[in-house]
């Protein structure tokens, strides 16, 4: 007997000349000794699955002569053979080697073939294919469970492709069900991505198909361009994303490509023109006037001015004075979140770009590669968002919230609120480098060990934080040069 799992199963058990008629031959594809404990394994399925069964009748066996007398000497009548209907004799061409016995008829007395439909361990029953019952063939359609689908439960259901499909384990009993994709109720189906599976370390590979309710993303987890998150709706609500509304006069129009977002998808802050403020860009920022198609112009006044006429006001009409450092630029509110702490400037003497616009051409510094980060010799390197700026006359103070400490010197740093001291603002009479409230930056500079101050000078690195910059920082950390 050959026992290799992929070889033919042979036996001499049924090779005897007796019984001459009415004998029984039993064949099992999963016979003992074939080394296959799991009937749903690929090796077992290659042996078990079939669509047609062929039996070859090669030649008759010569029955030996047997006495019809018992050992006790009693005469017994010959046993009556079963009622066998022999096949008609098939004439054959005569040959020198053929004998009369070669042409004797022979046939199968009875044939019983048992089988089940192939369901890979994901079904308990099968139904007739096409709704027609048949007693002469195995039912062809599995009633699938474990979130599987298909005639043979050979794939996952439309919304259950977060992990690769697997057959059940027949030896351990593990069902290996399909896992549901997390689409937050905004998709009816998903597909499995091998690339996503590898990127998540083999934990999730589902990608939602045709996200609805104005959502997008691998899991329909964010609003598509032109929409923002509704603050009072959960993520799985059909109304989770609501359309942005931006004032057409004060906001920057959507790009011709049609894929630019009208507002920030979380805060709803629109992209405002120079000097324009508000979540929908509907009015001038404090210290600006003349709301129109070109935005708003800065007030040329010691304190503030009328937002409609630009005339200087001798006293504060609203009890508060806001002086936003421009550095030649309007604050970028794209990354502003309403829940962030945002303090106004104090009503103290100020030296800012607002009154010295001629001096305020700030040169932007860029980080183009990992080597640019590795060459830095600064005492501290942090990722932080600007909360507020205060000009004390003799010096300026900028409050920031540190998101991540990438490098620190003698001054101990941790996540939370810290103060920066931009020396260049008072020494040059200009707010360079630019630190806009509400924006997020990569900050690198020197420190004053005696006072424990973090300094910002013209030699400091102040770069707005982007996804590309974040990738470069991660690579620099991996290389150990930050």
DSSP conformation letters of 149-211: ESTTS-EE-TT--SS------TTT----PPPPP--TTS-SEEEE-HHHHHHTTSS--EEEES-
The domain tally of the chain equals 1
Note whether residue 379 is domain-resident. yes
CA 309, 315, 320, 321 dihedral sign is positive
Torsion over CA of 185, 191, 195 and 201, rounded to 10 degrees?
Answer: 60
Closest CA relative to residue 41, chosen from 167, 227, 152: 167
Are 417 and 401 in contact by the 8 Å Cβ rule? The answer is yes
Three-state SS for 144?
A: strand
Note whether residue 101 is domain-resident. no
Q: Which long-range contacts (CB under 8 A, 24 or more apart) does 83-87 make?
A: 84/21, 84/109
Spatial distance between the Cα atoms of 166 and 175, rounded to a whole number of angstroms = 9
Strand partners, 126: 142
Spatial distance between the Cα atoms of 335 and 13, rounded to a whole number of angstroms = 81
Note whether residue 360 is domain-resident. yes
Interacting residues of 170 by C-beta distance below 8 A, sequence separation 6+: 37, 38, 39, 40, 41, 44, 121
Spatial distance between the Cα atoms of 21 and 106, rounded to a whole number of angstroms = 10
Q: What is the mean pLDDT of residues 222-237?
A: 90
The reported pLDDT for the residue numbered 382 is: 92
Containing structural domain, residue 383: 351-479
CA 223, 229, 235, 238 dihedral sign is negative
Spatial distance between the Cα atoms of 174 and 167, rounded to a whole number of angstroms = 9
The reported pLDDT for the residue numbered 48 is: 74
Are 443 and 460 in contact by the 8 Å Cβ rule? The answer is yes
Q: What band does 183 get if pLDDT is binned at 50, 70 and 90?
A: very high
Note whether residue 195 is domain-resident. no
The reported pLDDT for the residue numbered 269 is: 85
- Could you identify the residue written with the tokens 């689908």? 149
Note whether residue 415 is domain-resident. yes
Q: What band does 236 get if pLDDT is binned at 50, 70 and 90?
A: very high
Task: Give pTM, 2 decimals.
Answer: 0.47
- Which pLDDT tens digit goes with each residue over 254-278? 654 444 457 888 888 888 888 898 8
Model confidence at 71: pLDDT above 70: no
**What CATH code is carried by the domain that includes residue 473?**
2.40.50.120
Note whether residue 378 is domain-resident. yes
Are 397 and 421 in contact by the 8 Å Cβ rule? The answer is yes
Note whether residue 50 is domain-resident. no
Note whether residue 468 is domain-resident. yes
Burial class (CB in 10 A: 0-12, 13-18, 19+), 283: middle
Are 161 and 178 in contact by the 8 Å Cβ rule? The answer is yes
- Which pLDDT tens digit goes with each residue over 8-41? 667 777 777 777 777 788 877 766 555 566 777 7
Q: How far from the centroid of its chain's Cα atoms is residue 93's Cα?
A: 72
Q: What is the mean pLDDT of residues 425-453?
A: 80
């Amino acid at each position: 007997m050959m026992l290799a799992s992929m070889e033919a199963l042979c036996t001499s058990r049924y090779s005897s000349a007796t019984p001459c008629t009415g004998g029984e031959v039993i064949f099992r594809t999963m016979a003992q000794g074939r080394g296959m404990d799991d009937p749903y394994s690929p090796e077992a399925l290659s042996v078990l699955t079939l669509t047609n069964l062929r039996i070859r009748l090669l030649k008759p066996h010569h029955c030996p002569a047997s006495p019809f007398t018992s050992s006790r000497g009693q005469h017994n009548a010959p046993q009556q053979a079963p009622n066998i209907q022999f096949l008609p004799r098939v004439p054959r061409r005569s040959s020198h080697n053929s004998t009369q016995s070669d042409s004797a008829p022979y046939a199968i007395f009875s044939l019983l073939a048992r089988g089940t439909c192939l369901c890979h361990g994901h079904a308990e029953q099968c139904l007739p294919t096409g709704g027609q019952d048949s007693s002469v063939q195995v039912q062809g359609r599995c009633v699938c469970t474990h979130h599987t689908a298909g005639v043979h439960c050979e794939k996952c259901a439309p919304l259950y492709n977060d992990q690769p499909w697997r057959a059940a384990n027949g030896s351990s009993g593990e069902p290996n069900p399909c896992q549901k994709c997390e689409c937050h109720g905004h998709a009816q189906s998903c597909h499995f991505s091998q690339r996503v599976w590898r990127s998540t370390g083999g934990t999730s590979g589902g990608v939602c198909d045709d996200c609805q309710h104005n959502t997008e993303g691998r899991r329909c987890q964010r609003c598509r361009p032109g929409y923002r998150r509704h603050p009072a709706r959960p993520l799985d609500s059909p109304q989770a994303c609501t359309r942005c509304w931006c004032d057409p006069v004060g906001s920057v129009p959507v790009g011709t490509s049609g894929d630019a977002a009208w507002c920030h998808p979380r805060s709803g802050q629109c992209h405002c023109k120079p000097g324009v403020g508000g979540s929908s860009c509907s009015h001038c920022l404090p210290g600006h006037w003349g709301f129109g198609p070109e935005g708003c112009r800065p007030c040329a006044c010691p304190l503030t001015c009328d937002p409609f006429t630009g005339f200087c006001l001798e006293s504060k009409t609203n009890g508060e004075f806001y002086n936003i450092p421009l550095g030649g630029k309007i604050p970028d509110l794209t990354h502003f979140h309403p829940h962030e702490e945002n303090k106004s400037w104090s009503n103290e003497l100020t030296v800012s770009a607002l009154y010295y616009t001629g001096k305020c051409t700030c040169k932007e510094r860029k980080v183009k590669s990992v080597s640019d980060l590795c060459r830095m010799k600064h005492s501290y390197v942090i990722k932080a968002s600007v909360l507020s700026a205060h000009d004390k006359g003799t010096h300026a103070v900028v409050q920031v919230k540190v998101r991540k400490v990438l490098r620190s010197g003698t001054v101990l740093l941790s996540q939370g609120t810290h103060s920066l001291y931009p020396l260049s603002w008072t020494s040059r009479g200009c707010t360079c480098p630019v630190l806009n409230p509400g924006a997020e930056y990569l900050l690198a500079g020197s420190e004053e060990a005696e006072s424990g101050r973090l300094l910002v000078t013209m030699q400091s690195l102040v770069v707005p934080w982007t996804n590309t910059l974040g990738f470069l920082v991660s690579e620099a950390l991996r290389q150990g040069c930050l």
